[in-house]
Amino acid sequence: MIETVHQVYSPRWDRECRFTVVFNRSCFVVAFEKRKATCSIDDRLTCRWTGFEGDVGNPFMNILHGLKVYAPAVVPEAIEWLLVQYRDRLILDGDAQSAMEELFDWIDQSGRLKPNGEIWTVYLG
């Protein structure tokens, strides 16, 4: 099992927000405050997401959108890929942890680099 903590800049709150990640060979859980998103591998070896506002969209992306962080749409799929690679032992613990840090760095930059001109502020908040 791997446990990591990541800081992601939130344009909504103009501060870094703390995310905790726990993943093992069958499950990935990311949490921010009371909001959680879980990606689990089911009996058919398919990744399934559950959690925060999971009835509409991806739960992890929903958490990020609430913070006005518009991460690349490929992020959930990248997490699924990493989880499967880790489950199949094609990626070692240290490499999986490094990969997660890189992914969260990318997510963090998405919040920091959001357009903030007058026109875009109306649309992106």
Q: Which of 5, 28, 27, 29 is nearest to 17 (CA)?
A: 5
The architecture (CATH level 2) of 2-120 comes to 2-Layer Sandwich (3.30)
- Residue-range domain boundaries for the chain: 2-120
CA distances from 104 to 56, 60, 71, 117 (A): 23, 12, 10, 25
What pTM does this model have?
Answer: 0.91
Strand-by-strand arrangement of the 35-41 sheet = 2-10, 15-23, 27-32, 35-41, 47-51
Distance from C-alpha of 102 to C-alpha of 95, rounded to nearest angstrom: 11
Q: How would you write the pLDDT of the chain (125 residues) with one tens digit per residue? A: 999 999 999 999 999 999 999 999 999 999 999 999 999 998 888 999 999 987 789 999 999 999 999 999 999 999 999 999 999 999 999 999 999 999 999 999 999 998 878 888 888 77
